[in-house]
A and B are shown apart, each in its own frame.
Chain A
Amino acid sequence: MARAMELRVVTPAQVVFEGTARSLVAPAWDGLVGILPGHAPFLTLLGSGRLQIDSGSEARQSFALSGGVMKVEDNEVTVLADSVEAS
């Protein structure tokens, strides 16, 4: 089982985060979802809330996110958010 996954957080105007992550918690439209490495292919609509990324080395990063879609495939996570602010 893989220990880490590739994560990209993208807004219409810029790439907010790009790198590896050990886990993340995202605000889906119907509640929080946690993604760990090796997750099954998954596609979900996002609501608004906190996006938390554990990238292993550094402290846990947290963003305020509002709206968007998240795709998990082949250990690669792509978060397409309407807007993201560091928090």
Chain B
Amino acid sequence: MAQAREVLRRIKSVKNTRKITRTMELIATSKLKRAMDRMVAARPYSDALGELLRSLRAPGLEQDHPLLRQPAETKRAAVLLLTANRGFCGAFNANLIREARLKLEELEAAGVETELHIAGKKGLTFFRFRGRAVASSTIEIGDAPTPEDAEDLIASVRDKFESGDLDAVYLVSARFRSAMSTPPRTQLVLPVEPKEGARSVDAFLVSPPPVKLVGRILPRYLTSVVYRALVENAAGEQGARRAAMKSATDNAGEMIDTLTRSYNRARQAQITQEIAEIVGGAAALE
């Protein structure tokens, strides 16, 4: 009976694991719902602000606003990497980290000095383990990022860009294509790129004058871009976790089926052997 009991014990252990992964799947599903709501709620503000900024855009504004400065060549660049604080979400963090590493390598190959800023424990642990200098990091941002989190994250980088210490800032975060697909992406957040196509505000009564107004809108726009990336990342994390935990639960189920089958076989073998022994014993007596 020794082998059968062994299999029984494994079945029990896999069942326990399945219970855990199923629970995590359920939790991720409900968190995903809320994270997606936040993502949708963040859209109107940043869309409206972006459009406003585009329509205020006029040639010559670069002189007055350091955030619009388009450096002729990039000497120093910052990469801002957003990852999750927790694992168990498939390749989500690994994808983001790889994207950031590729970007850093690409920049360094082009002779650009780089600095790395990280939000999220997973990214931080990785780069710290690799012995890379990390300019700043936070692991304080939870499942529900706030606009203040975004502001804290971007403030130091923004100041450095304004003072000319940085020539470009890239943001590496996950795109939320669907709950199943959350590929990493790199955005250039600074300098703020000129976009065309918006109507001008010549007909508007503008107070204070556009030059001053743009100066007030720019930092807000930047924060909203980062905030959107944060909420999208949080939703992506939950989506990836749900997918990972779903496949773990399915795998555990399959494993239990296989193990049950081999338990039954072992038990049957045992019975067959016992009968054979009894029959053999009876035959010997005759």
Contacts of B212 in A (CB 8 A): 45
Q: Give the nearest-CB partner of B231 in chain A.
A: A13
Q: Is the CB of A42 within 8 A of B204?
A: yes
Q: Would you call B147 and A44 a contact (CB within 8 A)?
A: no
Of listed A12, A30, A69, residue having the most chain B CB within 10 A: A12
Query: In the complex, what residue of chain A is closest to B144 when comparing beta carbons?
Result: A13
Which of chain B's residues have a CB closer than 8 A to the CB of A11?
45, 147
How many residues does chain A have at the interface if contact means C-beta atoms less than 8 Å apart? 23
Q: Give every chain B residue within 8 A of A68 (Cβ-Cβ).
A: 220
Q: What's the minimum C-beta distance from B255 to chain A, rounded to whole angstroms?
A: 43
Within 8 A of A (CB), among B141-157: 146-147, 150
Chain A neighbourhood of B217, CB < 8 A: 69
A-side contacts of B41, CB under 8 Å: 13-15
The answer to whether A10 and B207 touch across the interface, beta carbons within 8 angstroms, is no
Residues of A within 8 A of B204 (CB): 41-43, 73
| Chain B positions 9 through 45: 1 when the CB is less than 8 Å from some CB of chain A, otherwise 0 | 0000000000000000000000000000010011011
Residue contacts A-B, CB under 8 angstroms, 29 given: A10-B44, A10-B45, A10-B48, A12-B42, A12-B147, A12-B150, A12-B224, A12-B227, A13-B41, A13-B42, A13-B146, A13-B147, A15-B44, A29-B208, A30-B208, A41-B204, A41-B205, A42-B204, A42-B205, A43-B52, A43-B56, A43-B207, A45-B207, A69-B49, A69-B216, A80-B48, A80-B220, A82-B147, A82-B220
Identify whether the interface residues of B are mostly helix, strand, loop, or mixed. helix
The answer to whether the Cβ of B213 comes within 8 Å of any Cβ in the partner chain is yes
- Chain A CB within 10 Å, residue with most, of B38, B45, B203, B212: B45
Contacts of A12 in B (CB 8 A): 42, 45-46, 147, 150, 223-224, 227
Q: A60 to chain B: which residues have CB within 8 Å?
A: none
A residues neighboring B (CB under 8 Å): 8, 10-15, 28-30, 40-45, 68-69, 71, 73, 78, 80, 82
Q: Of the candidates B45, B203, B208, which one forms a contact with A80 in the assembled complex, judged by CB atoms under 8 Å apart?
A: B45
The reply to whether B216 and A45 form a contact with Cβ atoms under 8 Å apart is: yes
| B201 with A43: CB separation less than 8 A | yes
B152-182 near A? 1/0 per residue, CB < 8 Å:
0000000000000000000000000000000
With A12-B147, A13-B38 given, is the CB distance from A44 to B206 under 8 Å? yes
Q: How far is the CA of A28 from the CA of B223 in the complex (A)?
A: 21
Q: Mark B212-251, 1 if CB is under 8 A from A, else 0.
A: 1100110010011001000000000000000000000000
Give the docked Cα–Cα distance between A15 and B37 (Å): 12
CA distance A71 to B198 in the complex (A): 15
Docked complex Cα distance between A71 and B212 (Å):
16
Q: Nearest-CB distance from A86 to chain B (Å)?
A: 16
- For B44, the chain A residues whose CB sits under 8 A away are 8, 10, 15
